[in-house]
Copies of this chain bind each other. A is one copy, B any other.
Amino acid sequence: MHKVKTVKTAVVIDDHPLVTRGIADFLKSHCGFSDVHAVCNTADFWHMMGENHPPAMIVLDFWLPDGAALPLLEQLKAKHESIPVLVMSADDNPAICSKARESGANGFIHKQESPEVFATAVNALLDNGNWFSNMPNHAIYDTSNKELPITLQELGLTARQGEVLGLILQGLPNKRIAQRLSLSEQTVKEHISGILERLKVRNRVEIITKLRGRKLVSN
């Protein structure tokens, strides 16, 4: 039962079972794979690799828990250099694309991509090619709205305090904030005191850390 040319298998690694399933089905129905293994963590992956023939390609989710994707990728490439690996991500940070490539990935694709593009990328890798979609402006467009929005009402802040808060979150010191808003530095400080009181924190650093991962919206 040695490796047969006509048997084209793949492995999909993603911690979202439903996603894994969808991709596996797609590879079988639209990319000519005869068998696709779906695993949800690194342990299952290595176990599976030990018990089966090497697959024709591997599809790997970047956002495995504990940042396990990159170590797995490097380890994998050290052992099975020839297997093409397509890294995918629901995220939009352009840095992770280069991260993946540095770690040995043969391709990178966003999960937002259409099935057609996905199939094209898969075929490119099967032909020993690469696939690193750069999508310059698309990435910029997406990065703006990744954080959970939070409104001024929820924070109990006035409109002016909201403006100041926005600049604080950009890391500006009081002097610059005053310039931007055409205010005296003292007035800025008073607005900040109001913000500190509302958010129940001690200083601007705690404001930032408290609101990390949140996006301030005017409305």
* Bound complex: CA A144 to CA B210 (Å): 15
Judged by a CB distance under 8 angstroms, whether A22 is at the interface is yes
Q: Is the CB of A170 within 8 A of B16?
A: no
> Range of interface residues on chain A?
35 or more
Q: List 10 A-B contacts (CB under 8 A).
A: A16-B111, A21-B25, A22-B22, A25-B25, A66-B145, A67-B145, A91-B148, A146-B213, A173-B203, A205-B208
Copies of this chain, count: 2
| Contact between B15 and A26, CB atoms less than 8 A apart | no
User: Is the CB–CB distance between A19 and B17 below 8 Å?
Assistant: no
**Complex: A210 Cα to B210 Cα, angstroms:** 16
| One of A49-57, A92-100, A129-137, A158-166 at the interface | A92-100
A32–B23 Cα distance when bound, in Å, is 21
Given contacts A205-B171, A208-B208, contact A26 B21 (CB under 8 A): yes
CB atoms of B208 and A171 under 8 A apart:
yes
Q: Which residues of B contact A16 (CB under 8 A)?
A: 19, 90, 111-112
Contact of A171 among B26, B93, B206, B213 (CB under 8 A): B206
Q: What residues of chain B lie closer than 8 Å to A142, measured between beta carbons?
A: 65
